[in-house]
């Protein structure tokens, strides 16, 4: 949970789907809960968006 680096690759048809997948992953694999995940996303939104690659 302290480690912000995650090397998993996540896919989504849309940005919404990608974020939903990332959230599910964060909760399952990184011990986030709904609230902490939302907090993390809002703090690092630009960072997350920069990680998104169009295929």
Kindly state whether residue 24 participates in binding Zn ion, applying the rule CB under 5 A: no
Structure tokens belonging to residue 29: 């694999």
Which range of residues in 11-19, 21-29, 32-40, 43-51 is near Zn ion by CB under 5 A? 21-29
Nearest of 42, 55, 38, 47 to residue 6 by alpha carbon: 47
Return the residue of 4, 5, 6, 49 that touches Zn ion, per CB under 5 A: 6
Return the residue of 3, 5, 8, 10 that touches Zn ion, per CB under 5 A: 8
SS3 label, residue 3: coil
Closest distance of CB 10 from Zn ion, Å = 8
């Amino acid at each position: 949970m302290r480690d912000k680096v995650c090397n998993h690759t996540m896919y989504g048809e849309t940005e919404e789907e990608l974020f939903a997948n990332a959230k599910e992953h964060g909760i399952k694999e990184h011990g986030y809960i709904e609230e902490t995940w939302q907090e993390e996303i809002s703090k690092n939104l630009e960072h997350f968006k920069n990680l998104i690659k169009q295929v």
